[in-house]
Structure 1
């Protein structure tokens, strides 16, 4: 009979920023606080998926670790359970130093630790050098082999799945039964992995899989049903890099999703505004918001961001129409911009202000250029000598600059970014965007400013 393992699945969670002034602003500005709470509350879908693959004779528990520290209210290593045989940790780059502290805490007690995710996939030697078993690429193809080796006490230092493609038709139901659902305001469901646009700075599932792939509709609906069975009136965040690439797939899925009466959020490119049938189906099926990476309000900064077709640069003139069309269907837009891209000078701050004021997306998200390990952008910046502290992974937060800009100084960029944060996320600005959305929905996409002109 196979040995039973006591497994602790540990997710490094929470929103991070090194800049104390920006953190202080984030605590007071409603737009920042609202999105920050949503992101921080998401459980690790990767760990829950592996838990769903795990044979039933093993015991599992799911634990979330936020910032470790000595201050009142913060978690410490002593809070972590030690009656376990195997610890599996998932962490992004920004939390990786805390993740290594957790791993070393267990290793010192003779407990085996494995780590995976985007960061470990990009720099597996860091984990291995600390005595941690590294899982590189998608976790599903190697997880059962890893568990079998762990049962026999013969765990390898590296499990590399990059040469093995996982068919999402074999995806298990994530083990949401391990969660205390009272702690969450939304749960995640994944319908696809990868993205055809392959933006140079993107640190997402394209680092785990070479090809865009879709999960069968019946599998997606089974996951939604499992969530609804435990959580009436569920809100779901789709964990897709670019959800609506395959419009035919979605037009088949959405009517069935509408029958579940859930509300949901997704990330998309702006091409959905060209398909009114798709937008109608999305809204009827419960789509509340789409997050779209516009990156820049004009062509400056967009050249070369996408490794294949420079699609966003060629469609920048349709940004306004895209926001207004989507919001006229009752779906809010979270418009995302990267401030300080190559080609953007100090004028970018006013340009983003003007775009947001004129076009009125319901939400707006601004970030700083961030070179994540494993991305083409990181290699470009490393070769150009433009990385600020190349291995300061704690700065990979999207809010702490780790790249030297070309058209302004780092001090200019940081100061202008903070002023823009205050302007965009103030209560007045947030209220105005909310009001503009209601107006666009009522008038078929016309903004109050356009109607008054």
Structure 2
């Protein structure tokens, strides 16, 4: 199956970093980790091409080549996603759509003309999608309430990326978050019990990036990297050794909850592994607002003292 993976355009937002990227001569901050993971889960007898529309447009040759077109997107990419679904259907292509936006608002994606909605976590739903194709089905919505064991997730297909266009690479160690912030959809999408890969599994992904020649930043895309502190410490103890053995080829950054400041061992392990930045979910210094939105983890200690500890 000739499969074209398309990542829709991000409009200018806080997260697009357009002007900053110009200064370092890069086009995009991060690659579409979801799509290259999809490519790794689908049958490896299939052929794959990837077009990140934040880098360039889909070529006519790619449209002509494709038998199946696969999209993944977040809500901020909605406009371009729906436009590209319609473009693919005008060209007579079979279209499958997944990712957080389609999972949250499947009706809009279906209305745009998608043939298959492959929703929720792909380790479970993508094999079901492949089976549907084998049965000759040409339309369907594939969902699951199960949460997959991410220790079975294959190494993403980083080889499909135009590496020089990106400022940083993306890897994922865990999915889910133990907290209950009412404004966040992560616990709906991935659950409140963080599931992690094994340290050896994550290091194999770094080995692959290293072998491809990557020598810049790596973003741990986990929505709360320290959601499972026990397993994160196991990873970091191995990662600091890997970094030293490879002469520290990567600098890491990630997102974490403010309770990171309560664990000196964890902070030291992150420093030893060459983490140089952490995006914190502070939200507001107003304690009543934090309680109202159920972000109780930010009310346990003084936020000022917490930040001072981290700095």
Is 2:258–2:297's contact at 8 Å kept on the other side of the alignment?
no
- Does the alignment pair 1:324 with 2:305? no
C-alpha displacement of 1:231: 2.5
C-alpha displacement of 1:81: 2.5
Distance 2:308 2:150 in 1: 34
Any residues of structure 2 matched to 1:26-175 within 5 Å, and which? 40-66=28-54, 75=57, 81-132=63-114, 133-151=116-134, 153-161=136-144, 163-175=145-157
1:7 is aligned to 3
SS at match of 1:88: strand
Write the deviation string for residues 108-135 of structure 1: whole angstroms up to 9, x where unpaired. Answer: 2211001111111111122223331212
In terms of mean alpha carbon deviation, does 208-217 or 225-234 score higher? 208-217
Distance 1:44 1:249 in 2: 25
Distance 1:81 1:47 in 2: 17
Question: For residues 98 and 194 of structure 1, do their structure 2 counterparts lie closer, same or farther at Cα, with a shift above 3 Å needed?
Answer: same
C-alpha displacement of 1:277: 1.6
Distance 1:321 1:210 in 2: 27
C-alpha displacement of 1:105: 0.9
Distance 2:200 2:259 in 1: 25
Write the deviation string for residues 157-194 of structure 1: whole angstroms up to 9, x where unpaired. Answer: 20112x22211110100000111211112111111101
SS at match of 1:166: coil
C-alpha displacement of 1:221: 1.2
Write the deviation string for residues 215-237 of structure 1: whole angstroms up to 9, x where unpaired. Answer: 12211111111111113434210
Any residues of structure 2 matched to 1:189-338 within 5 Å, and which? 189-204=171-186, 206-209=188-191, 211-258=193-240, 259-260=242-243, 261=248, 262-306=250-294, 310-312=296-298, 314-315=299-300, 317-327=301-311
2:12 is aligned to 16
Question: For residues 200 and 33 of structure 1, do their structure 2 counterparts lie closer, same or farther at Cα, with a shift above 3 Å needed?
Answer: farther
Q: What is the RMSD computed on CA atoms of the aligned residues? A: 2.8
C-alpha displacement of 1:212: 2.3
Distance 1:107 1:244 in 2: 42
Is 2:118–2:129's contact at 8 Å kept on the other side of the alignment?
no
C-alpha displacement of 1:76: 7.8
Q: What TM-score, normalized by structure 1, do the two folds share?
A: 0.61
Is 1:121–1:208's contact at 8 Å kept on the other side of the alignment?
no
Distance 1:65 1:219 in 2: 30
Distance 2:236 2:58 in 1: 44
In terms of mean alpha carbon deviation, does 205-214 or 79-88 score higher? 205-214
Distance 1:189 1:304 in 2: 33
Distance 2:192 2:141 in 1: 20
Q: What TM-score, normalized by structure 2, do the two folds share?
A: 0.87
Is 1:227–1:234's contact at 8 Å kept on the other side of the alignment?
no
C-alpha displacement of 1:303: 2.5
Larger-gyration structure (1/2) = 1
SS at match of 1:295: coil
